[in-house]
């Protein structure tokens, strides 16, 4: 319950002809955390099993398949059909066939799109010319006149017309537009161009190769564009038929390729000798018999499975290899396991701190955020995140579970404080955070929580050291048996002084004896294991190191304990914010529409408190967990259990 799942190392020996099948069987089982078999072998008896060409070939096929799926518009979320297993060569041939069919239609579409684009540009150019119903061959064949069309803004139009009043005729195509027509004698055409350039005239050239009217030409172009569009639609329908014919097959091929790549990546970790292949990895001990049966069935009884308990593995003992950690997952544990893993992964020989983190986190959160109504709202948000039918991620659903746990704690302390949406409607079962006579009790209880949590953390550290067979550290460390005795001695003396009880001289032994033994930790260790109390460090170095240890012990316990005062302080700030909301509501009673405004302030004020104070309380909880609790026991630097798995879901990430 409190320890990671018990693991063992396995070495599987199989013949080459069974390698592919055994890899698939192990991948489908999803229980073996693979490690490098070559690095595990003694005397370098195994060679690596890696084919760069095969890996690149599979990745190339996967890229081609993905491009085809995208080009054909295949729905990637659709469930692929079941097809016979295909070799890489067969997959390549099929992809080439589908690509050829697609490319034939795609090239035609590209050609038609280019033609359509050219005709559309010509059509748009014709729209710019003002004389839509005049035959253009007539305009080109004028003998004595020269006509130009273009755009000229209104002020320039007036100035140009005045400047050329005796040489040209100006006409607006549309009174509301800047399109103009200018007619002059043919002999004045060059002078006209020079003068118009001074007024920023932008000419529109007469369309080429058009003898009829522009309107007639536009109709002709529109008809041709429509024919091209009809042809485009026909070729697109052909691509749609290709997608319908091969879409499911492509999805199935993609799934097979992904699995082949996963298998290829897994086989990189395998070792090989002249006739045998070795697969090494870790798995939960409870799965060992199941794996033995699978290997026996897959290899016709020729496969060999060697199992080594994690505590007996020579590489683990030597510190060369790590045992992967599989935590016991449950709905209530998982949110707080995420909090632990965000800090570091526990190592195999320490207790899973998830339950401790869950209890301490929720207790501190409720202490700071104690309110029945606001806690209930937080719980409803958590229930929505947890059980909503929307496609929320697992992380968000785990956050919903954490919200629910914290809301229970918040409502419990809300009853203790008598607070419902910030109003002390109920009589407090314990104390009121804003009652002056209750403030010392509130802050001292927060410190008491800190003392309890720190003590539990030290006891977990002692258990971790004993589980790892580090008995000396479990006894002499500042967070070992003598450390907790020193801490409890200080707490005992502090409580007696606070209660004004007479000080007894023997109280000093409660702190001096364990503190002295902590001071002697290094020299005693050197004396026991190296027969020299000042081994390596020398006399001065040993004394300095022991002195620093004592100083860290004193300051660490003092600052850590005082840090928990913030839990009570934020409980007070939460109540003060609620009081501020009700103060504003009280001021609104005598103003017009004060009732409606009060309701708005009540709703948005509580929402603001839930968001802001909830975030602040969560941040403070994380800070205390990481710096004041984890620092007493958490070793970390573990390796998370990631079993080799072949997924049947084509969209699942490995």
Q: Which of 228, 203, 202, 208 is nearest to 120 (CA)?
A: 228
The pLDDT value given to residue 211: 60
Distance from the first to the final alpha carbon of the chain: 28
- Give the integer Cα–Cα distance in Å for 421 and 414: 9
The reported pLDDT for the residue numbered 45 is: 65
Nearest Cα to Cα of residue 307 among 284, 337, 273: 284
Angle at 54 between CA 49 and CA 59, to 5 degrees: 125
Q: How far apart are CA 76 and CA 53, in angstroms?
A: 28
pLDDT digits (tens, 9 = 90+) for 75-134: 888 888 888 888 888 889 999 999 999 999 989 999 999 999 988 887 877 776 666 666
**Residues in contact with 236: Cβ distance below 8 Å, sequence separation at least 6, in sequence order:** 105, 109
Give strand ranges (E) for 199-310. Answer: 202-204, 271-272, 276-284, 304-309
Distances (CA, A) of 448 to 179, 242, 304, 408, 444: 87, 72, 57, 21, 6
- HSE-up of residue 240 (Cα within 13 Å, Cβ side): 6
- Whole-number Å distance between alpha carbons of 342 and 308: 30
Q: Which residues contact 347 (CB under 8 A, 6 or more apart)?
A: 322, 323, 325, 635, 636, 637, 638
Which residues lie below 8 Å from residue 307, measured CB to CB, with a gap of 6+?
A: 8, 9, 10, 288
Closest CA to 160 of 128, 192, 190: 192
Q: Report the DSSP pairing between strands 202-204 and 276-284.
A: unpaired
- Give pLDDT, residue 88: 84
Take residue 102 and report the two structure tokens written for it.
């697609």
- Cα–Cα distance between 12 and 518 in angstroms, integer? 48
pTM over cut 0.85: no
256: its two tokens: 């097979």
With tokens 């607006």, the residue in question is: 172
Residue located via tokens 């401790």:
356
Cα 639 to Cα 347: distance, rounded to the nearest angstrom: 7
Alpha-carbon distance 135 to 4, whole Å? 91
Q: List, for the chain, all residue ranges whose pLDDT scores fall below the cut of 50.
A: 649-654
pLDDT of residue 454: 96
Per-residue pLDDT at 649: 47
E strands along 156-251, which residues? 168-172, 179-185, 202-204
* pLDDT, position 601: 92
Residue 489 region, left (φ>0) first, then alpha (ψ -120 to 50), else beta? alpha
The pLDDT value given to residue 173 = 66
The pLDDT value recorded for residue 442 is 94
Distance CA 303, CA 295 (A): 6
Token pair recorded at residue 559: 């600052």
Distance CA 155, CA 472 (A): 98
**Whether the Cβ atoms of residue 28 and residue 646 lie closer than 8 Å to each other:** yes
Strands (E), 548-653: 639-640
> For the stretch 258-274, what's the b/e string if a residue is b when 16 or more beta carbons lie within 10 angstroms of its beta carbon?
bbbbbbbebbebbbbee
Domains of the chain by residue range: 7-81+251-325, 130-206, 328-431+570-637, 438-563
The count of C-alpha atoms lying within 13 angstroms of the C-alpha of 506, restricted to the half-sphere facing its C-beta, is 0
Q: Distance of alpha carbon 493 from its chain centroid, rounded?
A: 48
The angle formed by the CA atoms of residues 643, 647 and 653, to the nearest 5 degrees, is: 85
Q: Which residues pair with 305 in a beta bridge?
A: 12
Cβ neighbours, 10 Å, residue 78: 12
Q: What pLDDT does residue 139 have?
A: 62
> Are residues 266 and 644 in contact, defined by beta-carbon separation less than 8 angstroms?
yes
**For residue 204, what are the β-bridge partners?**
149
| Strand ranges (E), 121-266 | 145-151, 168-172, 179-185, 202-204
Q: What is the DSSP pairing of strand 179-185 with strand 145-151? A: antiparallel
Apex 499 CA angle, 495 and 505, nearest 5: 65
Q: What is the pLDDT of residue 1?
A: 57
The CATH classification number of 130-206 equals 3.30.70.2750
Handedness of CA 494, 498, 499, 505 (dihedral sign): positive
Confidence (pLDDT) at 292: 94
d(CA 206, CA 219): 18
Strand partners of residue 180: 150, 172
Instruction: Please provide the size of the chain in residues.
Output: 654
Per-residue confidence (pLDDT) for residue 652, from 0 to 100: 41
Condensed to tens digits (0 to 9), the pLDDT of residues 586-611 reads: 888 878 888 889 999 999 999 999 99
- At 313, list the tokens: 């593995």
């Amino acid at each position: 319950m409190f320890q990671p799942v018990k693991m063992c190392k396995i070495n599987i020996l199989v013949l080459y002809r069974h390698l592919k099948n055994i890899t698939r069987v192990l991948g489908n089982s999803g229980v073996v955390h693979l490690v490098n078999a070559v690095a595990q072998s003694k005397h370098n008896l195994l060679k690596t099993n890696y084919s760069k060409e095969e890996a690149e070939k599979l990745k190339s096929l996967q890229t081609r398949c993905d491009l085809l799926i995208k080009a054909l518009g295949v729905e990637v979320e659709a469930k692929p059909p079941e097809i016979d297993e295909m070799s890489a060569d067969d997959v390549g041939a099929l992809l080439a066939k589908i690509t050829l069919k697609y490319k034939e239609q795609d090239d035609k579409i590209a050609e038609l799109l280019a033609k359509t684009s050219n005709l559309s540009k010509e059509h748009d150019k014709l729209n710019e010319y003002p004389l839509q119903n005049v035959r253009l061959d007539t305009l080109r064949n004028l003998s004595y006149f020269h006509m130009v069309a273009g755009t000229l803004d209104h002020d320039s139009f007036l100035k140009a017309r005045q400047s050329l009043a005796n040489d040209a005729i100006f006409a607006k195509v549309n009174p509301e537009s800047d399109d103009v027509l200018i007619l002059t004698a043919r002999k004045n055409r060059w002078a006209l161009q020079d003068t118009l350039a001074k007024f920023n005239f932008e000419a529109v050239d007469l369309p080429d190769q058009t003898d009829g009217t522009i309107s007639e030409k536009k109709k002709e172009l529109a008809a041709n564009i429509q024919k091209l569009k009809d042809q485009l639609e026909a070729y697109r329908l052909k691509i749609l038929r290709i997608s319908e014919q091969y879409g499911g097959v492509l999805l199935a091929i993609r799934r097979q390729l992904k699995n082949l790549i996963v298998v290829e990546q897994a086989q990189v970790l395998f070792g090989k000798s002249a006739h045998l292949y070795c697969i090494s990895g870790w798995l939960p001990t409870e799965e060992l018999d199941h794996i033995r049966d699978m290997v026996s069935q897959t290899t016709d009884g020729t496969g060999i499975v060697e199992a080594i308990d994690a505590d007996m593995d020579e590489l683990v003992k030597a510190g060369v290899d790590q045992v992967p950690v599989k935590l016991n997952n449950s709905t209530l544990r998982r949110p707080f396991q995420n909090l632990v893993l965000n800090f570091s992964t526990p190592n195999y020989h320490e207790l899973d701190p998830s339950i401790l983190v869950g209890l301490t986190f929720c207790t501190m959160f409720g202490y700071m955020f104690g309110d029945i109504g606001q806690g209930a709202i937080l719980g409803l948000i958590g229930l929505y995140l947890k059980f909503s039918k929307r496609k929320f991620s697992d992380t968000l659903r785990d956050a919903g579970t954490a919200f629910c746990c914290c809301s229970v704690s918040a409502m419990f302390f809300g009853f203790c404080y008598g607070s419902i949406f910030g109003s002390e409607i109920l009589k407090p079962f314990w104390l009121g955070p804003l009652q002056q006579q209750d403030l010392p009790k509130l802050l001292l209880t927060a410190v008491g929580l800190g003392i309890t949590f720190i003590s539990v953390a030290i006891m977990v550290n002692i258990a971790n050291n004993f589980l790892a067979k580090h008995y000396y550290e479990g006894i002499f460390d500042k967070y070992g048996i003598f450390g907790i005795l020193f801490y409890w001695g200080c707490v005992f003396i502090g409580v007696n002084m606070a209660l004004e009880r007479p000080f007894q001289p023997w109280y000093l032994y409660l702190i001096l004896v364990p503190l002295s033994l902590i001071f002697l930790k290094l020299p005693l260790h050197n004396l026991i294991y190296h027969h020299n109390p000042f081994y390596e460090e020398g006399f001065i170095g040993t004394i300095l190191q022991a002195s620093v240890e004592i100083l860290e012990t004193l300051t660490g316990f003092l600052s850590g304990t005082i840090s928990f005062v913030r839990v009570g302080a934020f409980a007070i700030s939460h109540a003060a914010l609620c009081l501020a909301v009700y103060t504003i509501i009280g001021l609104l009673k005598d103003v017009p529409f004060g009732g409606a405004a009060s309701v708005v302030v009540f709703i948005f004020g509580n929402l603001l408190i839930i968001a802001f104070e909830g975030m602040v309380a969560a941040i403070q909880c994380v800070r205390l967990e990481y710096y004041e609790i984890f620092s007493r026991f958490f070793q970390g630097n573990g390796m998370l259990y990631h079993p080799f798995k072949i997924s049947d879901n084509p969209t699942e990430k490995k």
